[in-house]
Amino acid sequence: MNKKGCSRSELLSCYGDIARLSAAELKAVCRTFGIDATLPKVAIRNAVSHCVGITTTGGPLELTVLPLAAELLDNDQIAELQSLTPKLLYSIFEWSKDIAKVPAIDESDVKKYLLQSNVLTSASERTYKLSRPYQMRQFVHSVQYSDLPSSSSFGIIRAMCNPSQSTDPDDVKLLHVIIDKVSGQPYGGYCTCTVG
């Protein structure tokens, strides 16, 4: 608390305020929101931004339900999906490195999700192979899974991703992918990169 009775997190009004926090202050804010303080520095800063409601892009912080997901889910599931905010995901501590618990994920579902199409054509396959997620797949590591016991519909995959243009360990991104607990169908996700 500062002398005016405000916690440090209440005094953060822009990303610059977060970037200026000392390591000890940043760890204190992490404890407030349940953010893993062992994450890389940039990931922590962006996670804190999401938790205090400061956008890093000027856009909304909530998950956008994509048309493909809206076709597969009922209204209650869509509401639950939208409740899986970055703030909630950063506070999950029950992660397993045993990815055998992850439901089988069909590559065509991933392609359809990324391309937002129910039909894959040879042209869309070419588009997929030129896409950033396909190009970056070799940089993803440290994959973990949370079965999200509070949900009957969704599980969460968490992983780290090394940025392609940096070797600085503080630039490693944390990403979450929300999947169907039974089918493995991806429905959305977040990343601690600036664009989210």
Residue 5 has pLDDT above 50, yes or no: no
Question: 146 pLDDT band (50/70/90 cuts)?
Answer: very high
For residues 89 and 185, state if they share a domain.
Answer: yes
For residue 44, give its domain range: 8-52
Question: 145 pLDDT band (50/70/90 cuts)?
Answer: very high
Which residue carries 């005016």 as its tokens? 4
Mean pLDDT computed over 21-32: 88
Distance from C-alpha of 97 to C-alpha of 82, rounded to nearest angstrom: 26
For residues 76 and 162, state if they share a domain.
Answer: yes
Residue 108 has pLDDT above 50, yes or no: yes
For residues 30 and 99, state if they share a domain.
Answer: no
Cβ atoms < 10 Å from Cβ of 68:
19
- pLDDT tens for 118-131 read 666 777 677 666 66
For residues 162 and 132, state if they share a domain.
Answer: yes
Mean pLDDT computed over 103-116: 74
Rounded to 5 degrees, what are φ and ψ at 158?
-120, 140
For residues 48 and 80, state if they share a domain.
Answer: no
For residues 174 and 82, state if they share a domain.
Answer: yes
At 85, is the secondary structure helix, strand, or coil? coil
Rounded to 5 degrees, what are φ and ψ at 159?
-155, 170
Pick the most confident of 42-46, 72-76, 153-157. Answer: 153-157
